[in-house]
Amino acid sequence: LPQRVPLGRRVAVQGLCSASSAVMKVEFYRDGVLQATDTSAPYTWTFDTSGLTAGSQYMLMTRAYVGGTTFDDSLVVEIVGP
């Protein structure tokens, strides 16, 4: 089931990695489109739901670059009305 996120809110999305000292960068995606890149801990991006449509769903994904390897994690969110 998708996580519910209120319309008109700014939600912090954080990329967590147990090998934090070896992380080169974390990328943040919405529906496969790069939204932000963070190169220093804590690895975060603000998902702004202003202007989105209540009832719509989005795939949020983080991609951590650790050495020569990437690690992906994703989550489906649903925008809910006020």
pLDDT score, position 16: 76
What's the helix, strand, coil split of the chain in %, to 5? 5, 65, 35
* Residue whose structure tokens are 């702004």: 48
Identify which has the larger pLDDT, 17 or 55.
Answer: 55
Q: With bands split at pLDDT 50, 70 and 90, how would you rate the model's confidence at 57? A: very high
Separation of alpha carbons 62 and 38, rounded Å: 11
Q: Residue holding tokens 């670059």?
A: 65
| Mean pLDDT of the chain, nearest integer | 91
**Taking a C-beta distance cutoff of 8 angstroms, is the pair 81, 61 a contact?**
no
- Residues 32-46 have pLDDT tens digits of 999 999 999 899 999
